[in-house]
């Protein structure tokens, strides 16, 4: 039989499960091997924690699905020579007792907090979360920010992954839960022996740890605990705090081949890998002090590339200690630039930032000498002379929608200025082979500039080009946008626009409450500029009078995507956008993603049926697993006398 721990750890790439355990306290699942650390009672059940080394901050490692302290012991052994490191076993795993239900990331963060306090682990903490552990450490930081000096997210779960990844990956959760419970029953009846377990899977440790690893898979406890972790996956994602932590030292370590752990499963890992990289870049945007590092291995980095985790933790520890330098950001180790800048240098760097942000190529080029030399080392770009530099700058600007350059630190050494730089921006989709879909990027680096008469004569750039390439999903260098290939507006879109123009009223008595005291809602639609779009608004009605505006709408045909797009803006700052299409039965359906000011992301859909002067709309919530939960049904009637030319035809032709 195949070692299930490898399956579970690989599945953690998508499932990123919360720590749900089962039942009451039971015997540890690690056989007769004595725990290396301490068992500490936390509200009636014991958790195992193992701390080694000295120094601050204290590193606390929270592992991936189905893993426990022994799976990170080799990483702990290396780091303990430099800092204090603690690993622990979540409830139901390793030497820890089972814990109370439900085992969500919120409960797990609370238990970890009580465990660290009972064990005398003092802040500041550098919390390291691998896979599902990413949920826990982010909840912990949100609840106890005064204790956390920084985070290291290792292939960490993302709270919107269930919506972003293809649906078959979310569906795999239920499949894995069943498989784990079947495995538990097999173990319960002695159907699993030591010969069925791969003793080396995910362990490169002393023989006693391999023995504990094997013993854990001979009893049902581990399988039931991990199955329960899977059941909490969606709820754990909802418990993760939304919004940025601008000043939090943050290291994100991403495996470029994360989903290769599923090779041979029959699932298409290519799209999943690409989406996963985008989600990981989203994590790197949680803080302005973030560093994004990469590994060329798969999701199980504790086994396939432990050195990358060691380097990420070292970088995080340096940042908590005050070093947020570009060398650390590039994984080159801790280094600080001396504070030897001058007002002249500070002014030059401000001019560079302003010209860059305004995308003024001429103004930017004037900051360089006529015989300037530009060398971009990782991207192998070599430009000589200001005329060539100006032409190159215009090419780069043409490929962008927005650009930003920020100098975090600077120092002067003779005629040279060394600056830590963060670049960010939005690139036009056509420039990176993704028509109609712009791409955002953000990466860090070092710039060396040799000055002459207050201008830059030579510039050498070292940036994280792989990070830039991953974010753009294309080549290293920007290029001129390709000529777009517009798709003509189908006939049914024009018919739909014409049919919707006017004012519509819907009764709200079925949903009226103290919080929503409105008698009805009004919806008004008008043609947009040139008749190529539809502009609308939704407002409340009470006593026959308007009682406040709720939403503004715009629908338009996207020639690059070849679809009708519906966007809307709420009075509270919420923004929603998504495709609006015609179904074979003639009804219309849209599913929009809503971005809330709190950082929460939701998906809501509407299905509508238009019959002359009556419009029936049925809304539904789209859950993380793709299921739809009905919300409200409204019958809208066109306001009498609204149309000068009589009722508009609701006949929407077939797509052409």
In the prediction, which pLDDT does 39 show?
A: 96
In the prediction, which pLDDT does 487 show?
A: 65
Range of the domain at 386: 343-472
User: Is the separation of the CB atoms in 634 and 616 below 8 Å?
Assistant: yes
| Across 220-230, average pLDDT | 85
- How far apart are the C-alpha atoms of 428 and 401, rounded to whole Å? 6
pLDDT in tens, 327-384: 444 444 334 444 467 888 888 888 898 888 888 888 899 999 999 988 887 666 678 8
For the chain, the average pLDDT equals 81
The single residue listed with the structure tokens 């507006």 is 489
Q: Are residues 288 and 162 in the same domain?
A: yes
Domains held by the chain: number: 3
Lowest mean pLDDT, pick from 95-104, 286-295, 332-341, 597-606:
332-341
**Residue 18: pLDDT band with limits 50, 70, 90:** very low
Q: How far is CA 86 from CA 12, 19, 59, 69, 382, in A?
A: 22, 18, 6, 9, 47
For the residues of 84-141, what is the DSSP string, one character each? -EEEE--TTSTTPPP-PSP--HHHHHHHHHHHHHHTT-PSPEEEEEETTHHHHHHHHH
- How far apart are the C-alpha atoms of 378 and 269, rounded to whole Å? 28
Burial 126-160 (b: 16+ CB within 10 A, else e): bbbbbbbbbbbbbbbbbebeebbbbbbbbbbbbbb
3-state secondary structure of 230: helix
Q: Give the single-character DSSP code of 262.
A: G
Q: Are residues 414 and 498 in the same domain?
A: no
Q: Are residues 465 and 496 in the same domain?
A: no
Lowest mean pLDDT, pick from 252-256, 336-340, 495-499:
336-340
- How far apart are the C-alpha atoms of 565 and 543, rounded to whole Å? 34
**Residue 19: pLDDT band with limits 50, 70, 90:** very low
In the prediction, which pLDDT does 325 show?
A: 46
Q: Which residue has better confidence, 258 or 26?
A: 258
**Interaxial angle between packed helices 105-118 and 133-143, expressed in degrees from 0 to 180 and rounded to the nearest 10:** 70
Secondary-structure breakdown of the chain: helix, strand, coil percentages, each rounded to the nearest 5? 35, 30, 35
The answer to whether position 329 is within a domain reads no
Q: Are residues 185 and 265 in the same domain?
A: yes
Say yes or no to pLDDT of 652 above 50. no
Q: Are residues 116 and 8 in the same domain?
A: yes
User: Is the separation of the CB atoms in 143 and 113 below 8 Å?
Assistant: yes
Closest CA to 94 of 118, 62, 67, 75: 67
In the prediction, which pLDDT does 318 show?
A: 86
In the prediction, which pLDDT does 643 show?
A: 41
pLDDT in tens, 403-459: 888 887 788 877 788 888 888 888 887 777 677 778 888 888 888 899 998 899 999
In the prediction, which pLDDT does 42 show?
A: 92
- How far apart are the C-alpha atoms of 115 and 95, rounded to whole Å? 14
Say yes or no to pLDDT of 482 above 80. no
Lowest mean pLDDT, pick from 204-218, 274-288, 383-397:
204-218
- How far apart are the C-alpha atoms of 128 and 249, rounded to whole Å? 12
What is the domain-level CATH number for residue 467?
Answer: 3.10.450.50
- How far apart are the C-alpha atoms of 609 and 589, rounded to whole Å? 9
The answer to whether position 483 is within a domain reads no
What is the domain-level CATH number for residue 40?
Answer: 3.40.50.1820
The answer to whether position 647 is within a domain reads no
**Residue 199: pLDDT band with limits 50, 70, 90:** low
Q: Which residue has better confidence, 608 or 198?
A: 608
Lowest mean pLDDT, pick from 49-63, 384-398, 642-656:
642-656
What is the domain-level CATH number for residue 533?
Answer: 2.40.128.20
Closest CA to 229 of 65, 29, 4: 65
Backbone angles phi, psi at 177, to 5 degrees: -60, -45
Q: Are residues 87 and 214 in the same domain?
A: yes
**Residue 586: pLDDT band with limits 50, 70, 90:** confident
Q: Are residues 269 and 363 in the same domain?
A: no
In the prediction, which pLDDT does 368 show?
A: 94
| Across 143-160, average pLDDT | 95
The answer to whether position 332 is within a domain reads no
Domain boundary residue, one of 420, 441, 472: 472
pLDDT in tens, 297-322: 889 899 888 989 998 999 899 888 86
Q: Which residue has better confidence, 284 or 522?
A: 522
The answer to whether position 418 is within a domain reads yes
Q: Are residues 85 and 231 in the same domain?
A: yes
| Across 93-118, average pLDDT | 92
- Residue 243's contacts (CB-CB under 8 Å, 6 or more residues apart) are 598, 599
In the prediction, which pLDDT does 115 show?
A: 97
Domain boundary residue, one of 439, 472, 505: 472
In the prediction, which pLDDT does 645 show?
A: 41
User: Is the separation of the CB atoms in 176 and 236 below 8 Å?
Assistant: no
Q: Are residues 505 and 619 in the same domain?
A: yes
| Across 226-253, average pLDDT | 86
Say yes or no to pLDDT of 625 above 50. yes
> Quick one: 166 exposed, middle or buried, by C-beta within 10 A (0-12, 13-18, 19+)?
middle
User: Is the separation of the CB atoms in 604 and 611 below 8 Å?
Assistant: no
In the prediction, which pLDDT does 145 show?
A: 94
Closest CA to 424 of 324, 292, 327: 292
Q: Are residues 154 and 28 in the same domain?
A: yes
In the prediction, which pLDDT does 252 show?
A: 92
Q: Are residues 458 and 591 in the same domain?
A: no
Say yes or no to pLDDT of 114 above 90. yes
> Quick one: 278 exposed, middle or buried, by C-beta within 10 A (0-12, 13-18, 19+)?
middle
In the prediction, which pLDDT does 583 show?
A: 76
Say yes or no to pLDDT of 85 above 90. yes
Say yes or no to pLDDT of 644 above 50. no
The answer to whether position 157 is within a domain reads yes
Backbone angles phi, psi at 267, to 5 degrees: -90, 150
**CB atoms closer than 10 angstroms to residue 387:** 12
The answer to whether position 293 is within a domain reads yes
**Residue 490: pLDDT band with limits 50, 70, 90:** confident
For the residues of 80-97, what is the DSSP string, one character each? TTTS-EEEE--TTSTTPP
Share of the chain above pLDDT 90, in %: 32
What are the structure tokens assigned to 340, written together?
């030897």
Q: Are residues 458 and 587 in the same domain?
A: no
What are the structure tokens assigned to 62, written together?
């929270």
**CB atoms closer than 10 angstroms to residue 246:** 10
Q: What angle do CA 323, 85, 131 make, to 5 degrees?
A: 85
The answer to whether position 335 is within a domain reads no
């Amino acid at each position: 039989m195949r070692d299930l721990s490898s399956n579970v750890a690989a599945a953690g790439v998508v499932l990123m499960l919360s720590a749900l355990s089962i039942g009451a306290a039971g015997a540890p699942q690690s056989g007769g091997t004595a725990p290396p650390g301490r068992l500490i009672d936390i509200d009636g059940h014991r958790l195992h924690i193992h701390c080694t080394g000295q120094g601050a901050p204290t590193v606390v490692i929270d592992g991936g699905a189905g893993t426990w302290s022994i799976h990170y012991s080799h990483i702990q052994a290396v780091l303990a020579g430099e800092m204090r490191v603690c690993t622990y076993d979540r409830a139901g795993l390793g030497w820890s007792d089972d814990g109370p239900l439900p085992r969500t990331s919120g409960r797990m963060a609370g238990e970890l907090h009580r465990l660290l306090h009972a064990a005398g682990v003092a802040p500041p903490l550098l919390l390291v979360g691998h896979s599902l552990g990413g949920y826990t450490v982010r909840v912990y930081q949100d609840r106890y920010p005064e204790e956390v000096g920084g985070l290291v997210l290792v292939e960490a779960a993302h709270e919107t992954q269930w919506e972003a990844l293809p649906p078959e990956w979310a569906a795999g959760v239920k499949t894995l839960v069943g498989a784990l419970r079947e495995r538990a029953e097999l173990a319960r009846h002695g159907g699993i022996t030591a010969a069925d377990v791969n003793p080396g899977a995910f362990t490169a440790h002393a023989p006693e740890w391999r023995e504990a690893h094997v013993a854990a898979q001979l009893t049902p406890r581990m399988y039931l605990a991990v199955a329960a972790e899977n059941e909490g996956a969606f709820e754990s994602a909802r418990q993760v705090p939304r919004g940025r932590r601008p000043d939090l030292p943050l290291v994100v370590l991403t495996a470029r081949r994360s989903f290769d752990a599923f090779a041979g499963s029959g699932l298409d890992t290519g799209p999943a890998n690409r989406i996963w990289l985008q989600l990981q870049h989203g994590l790197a945007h949680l803080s302005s002090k973030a560093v994004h590092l990469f590994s060329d291995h798969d999701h199980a980095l504790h086994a396939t590339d432990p050195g990358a985790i060691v380097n990420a933790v070292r970088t995080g520890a340096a940042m908590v200690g005050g070093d947020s330098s570009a060398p650390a950001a590039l994984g080159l180790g801790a280094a600080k630039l001396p504070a030897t800048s001058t007002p002249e240098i500070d002014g030059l760097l401000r001019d560079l930032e302003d010209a860059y942000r305004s995308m003024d190529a001429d103004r930017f080029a004037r900051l360089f000498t006529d015989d300037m030399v530009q060398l971009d080392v990782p991207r192998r770009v070599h430009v000589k002379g200001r005329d060539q530099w100006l032409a190159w700058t215009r090419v780069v600007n043409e490929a962008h929608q927005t650009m930003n350059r920020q100098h975090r630190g600077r120092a002067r050494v003779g005629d040279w200025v060394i600056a830590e730089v963060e670049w960010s921006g939005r690139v036009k989709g056509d420039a990176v082979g993704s028509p109609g879909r712009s791409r955002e990027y953000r990466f860090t680096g070092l710039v060396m500039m040799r000055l002459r008469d207050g201008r830059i004569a030579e510039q050498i750039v070292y940036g994280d080009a792989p990070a830039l390439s991953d974010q753009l999903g294309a080549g290293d260098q920007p290029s001129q946008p390709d000529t777009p290939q517009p798709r003509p507006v189908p006939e049914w879109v024009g018919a739909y626009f014409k049919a919707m123009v006017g004012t519509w009223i819907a009764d709200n008595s079925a949903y009226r409450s103290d919080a929503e005291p409105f008698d009805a809602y009004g919806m008004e639609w008008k043609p947009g500029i040139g008749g190529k779009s539809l502009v609308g608004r939704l407002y409340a009605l009470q006593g026959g009078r308007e009682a406040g505006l709720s939403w503004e709408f715009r629908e338009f045909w996207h020639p690059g995507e070849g679809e009708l797009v519906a966007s809307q803006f709420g009075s509270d700052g919420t923004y929603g956008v998504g495709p609006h299409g015609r179904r074979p039965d003639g009804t219309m359906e849209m599913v929009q993603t809503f971005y809330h000011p709190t950082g929460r992301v939701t998906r809501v859909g509407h299905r509508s049926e238009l019959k002359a002067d009556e419009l029936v709309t049925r809304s539904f919530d789209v859950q993380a697993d793709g299921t739809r939960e009905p919300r409200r049904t409204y019958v809208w009637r066109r306001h009498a006398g609204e149309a000068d030319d009589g009722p508009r035809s609701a006949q929407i032709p077939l797509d052409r």
